[in-house]
Chains A and B, each alone.
Chain A
Amino acid sequence: MSESKIIDARNTFCPGPLMELITYMKQANVGDTLELLSTDDGSAADVPEWIHKVGHEMVSSEKIEETWHIKVRKIK
């Protein structure tokens, strides 16, 4: 399995984890997996909502200690 690119958005408010993820998704190639690290509980709902609406793929989402690890794949 190819390694995923880590986006460390822990302990940041502005521009915030989802904006950071969208920035890196735009730079990624189709098929790439990105892993967002976020300490904002809102990310657990906000990221899947965007991923589903825009049509990318949710790979996994889990909270390990204080950090959400959210893996997504760029589909288009």
Chain B
Amino acid sequence: MRILIVGGGTGGTILANQLVRRLKDEIRAKKVRITLLSDSDRHMYQPGLLYVAFGQMAPDQLYRDEASLLESSIKFHVDAVTEFHLDRNQVKTKSGKTHDYDILAIATGARIVPQEVPGMSEGAETFYTEEGAIRMHKRLMEFKGGTVAMVVSIPHKCPVAPVEAMFMLHDFFKMRGIRDKVKLQYKYPVNHVHATANVARWAKPEFDKAGIEYETLFNVREVDPVKKIVYSEEGTECKYDLLIAIPPHRGMEMIEANNLGQGGWIPTDRFKLTMDGHENVYVIGDASNVPVSKTGSAAHFEAEIVAENIASVIKTGVPVREYDGKVYCFIEAGYDRATYNAFDYVNLPELKPPSKAIHWFKVAYNQLYWTTVRGLL
């Protein structure tokens, strides 16, 4: 049985390691072989980018060598997949190799496409890339006063990141002693300050308390970097001195090029996590079109379910569990307080009041992540 995993990020790495744990004997007996293909030899802890933007983490703290995170029996190659031939159970890679599989798991993540909004690349800062987060920190340190606006494009990964960034901006300028010189403006695409109702109910009064102004139903249409104005699809505009954008996202280019899904999002059964029409192809994490937030947390829970099901199918012929839409996200409420959101497809409990303890747990998790991706937590 040849299991091929494409993508060595959060989902792909957890899946590979969990499979090894569950299929030790089969691997030793050479009945199962696990191969992981990724386009990078490094693994980035993406949530750390938010801290880099505020000078609380150094960029090199975000990385580990992917090989160091993998069980030794996993055959790991840095060789990007360029073609999927699902009808022949084959993929082709950049180096020209062909890999055959019995079971395929796609976990190639998502990419930002600021170029799809005119003027966004030139006019806005973003903390969704390493380079962007470093530049944003520099801009924040240089900022002397005026309007800082945040615009949020659809779709995007980590839906709580814009809210967290607003609270961190508030504390950042307070600590620099210039909060009274800074107007914080938050522009959000749907009718509430957050797409998830419980987060919106919690964040709105917290924004009011912190003096953060907000406008809803603001979908970014265009940025004019010269006049420093951002325009919405809905016909409104906002003048800014510093613009921070959550850029729109797409799935990976080669997913689109191989016609695996519109926008690069692969049509996936939200419970079984198999690609529509392909029972031996699983899709986990940001790459799927499953209607849950694109988060490392969702990728993690999905990887666990898929590992359990693949192992069970190999051992007994039947899968054991379905994905229930579980997501658990920390939400920083500033520099020293945090809360969390835990929900699934049918349950959405109210948020707990933020506390220092939850903030410190998040800080600890920034390190514990490396234990998680090894499949140990």
Shortest CB-to-CB span from A21 to chain B, Å, is 9
B345 to chain A: closest residue by CB? A11
CB distance from B158 to the nearest CB of A (A): 11
Q: Confirm or deny: B318 has a beta carbon within 8 angstroms of a beta carbon on chain A.
A: no
B211 at the interface (CB under 8 A from A): no
Contact B291 A26 (CB under 8 A): no
* B263 touches A (CB below 8 Å): yes
Q: Do A19 and B155 form a contact, CB below 8 Å, given A14-B195, A46-B190, A53-B217?
A: yes
Main secondary structure of the interface of B (DSSP, over half): loop
Contact B348 A18 (CB under 8 A): no
Closest to B294 in A: A15
Residue of A nearest to B157 (CB): A15
Q: Please name all residues of chain A whose beta carbon is closer than 8 Å to the beta carbon of B197 when the two chains form the complex.
A: 13, 16, 40, 42
Residue of A nearest to B293 (CB): A14
Which residues of chain B from 176 to 191 have any CB-CB distance to chain A below 8 Å in the complex? Answer: 189-191
Complex Cα distance A49/B190, Å? Answer: 10
Q: Is A54 a contact of B234 with CB atoms below 8 Å?
A: yes
How long is the Cα–Cα vector from A39 to B245 in the complex, in angstroms? 31
Q: With the chains together, A9 CA to B190 CA distance in Å?
A: 15
Instruction: List residues 1-28 of chain A with CB under 8 A from any CB of chain B.
Output: 8-9, 11-16, 18-20, 22-23, 26-27
Q: Which bracket fits the contact residues of B?
A: 20 to 34
- Within 8 Å by CB of A22, from B159, B189, B198, B345, lies B189
Complex interface bits, B157-201 against A, C-beta within 8 A gives 1, otherwise 0: 001000000000000000000000000000001111001111100
- Of B198, B217, B248, B292, most buried by chain A (CB within 10 Å of CB) is B217
Instruction: Pick 24 A–B contacts, CB within 8 A, sort by A.
Output: A8-B291, A13-B196, A13-B197, A13-B198, A13-B345, A13-B348, A14-B196, A14-B293, A14-B343, A15-B154, A15-B155, A15-B159, A15-B195, A15-B293, A16-B195, A16-B196, A19-B154, A19-B155, A23-B263, A46-B191, A49-B217, A50-B190, A53-B234, A54-B233
**A49 partner, pick from B189, B191, B293, B346, beta carbons under 8 A:** B191
12 further A-B pairs in the complex, CB-CB below 8 A; given A9-B291, A14-B292, A22-B219 = A13-B348, A14-B199, A14-B293, A15-B293, A18-B190, A18-B191, A19-B195, A20-B291, A23-B155, A49-B191, A53-B235, A54-B219
| Shortest distance from the beta carbon of B329 to any chain A beta carbon, whole Å | 9
For the complex, would chain A's binding face be called helix, strand, loop or mixed by DSSP majority? helix
Query: Could you list which residues of chain A lie within 8 angstroms of chain B, going by C-beta atoms?
Result: 8-9, 11-16, 18-20, 22-23, 26-27, 40, 42, 46, 49-50, 53-54
Q: Name which residue of chain B comes closest to A76, CB basis.
A: B233
Question: Which of these, B159, B219, B263, contacts A27 with CB under 8 Å?
Answer: B263
Interface residues of B in 344-364 (CB under 8 A from A): 345-346, 348
Complex CA gap A38/B318 in Å reads 32
Check A19–B217 contact: CB distance below 8 A.
no
Residues of A within 8 A of B191 (CB): 18, 46, 49-50
Residues of B within 8 A of A11 (CB): 325, 345-346
With A22-B219, A46-B191, A49-B217 known as contacts, the answer to whether A12 contacts B234 (CB < 8 A) is no
In the complex, whether B306 has a CB less than 8 A from a CB of chain A is no
Determine whether the beta carbon of A23 is less than 8 Å from that of B154: yes
Q: Is the CB of A12 within 8 A of B291?
A: yes
Within 8 A of A (CB), among B221-235: 233-235
Closest to A42 in B: B197
Report the separation of the CA atoms of residues A11 and B343 in the bound assembly, to the nearest whole angstrom: 11
Tell me the complex Cα distance, A22–B233, Å. Answer: 11
Q: Is B89 an interface residue (CB 8 A)?
A: no
Q: Is B262 an interface residue (CB 8 A)?
A: yes
User: A42 vs B191: C-alpha distance in the bound complex, in angstroms?
Assistant: 10
Q: What separation, in Å, do the CA atoms of A26 and B154 have in the docked complex?
A: 9
Instruction: Indicate if the CB atoms of A50 and B217 lie closer than 8 Å.
Output: yes
- Shortest C-beta distance, B345 to chain A (Å), equals 5
Name which residue of chain B comes closest to A26, CB basis.
B154
How far, in whole Å, are A16 and B155 apart by their CA atoms in the complex? 11
Chain B residue with Cβ nearest A9: B291
- Is there contact, CB below 8 Å, between A19 and B189? yes
Q: Would A14 and B217 be within 8 Å (CB), given that A9-B291, A19-B190, A22-B154 are in contact? A: no
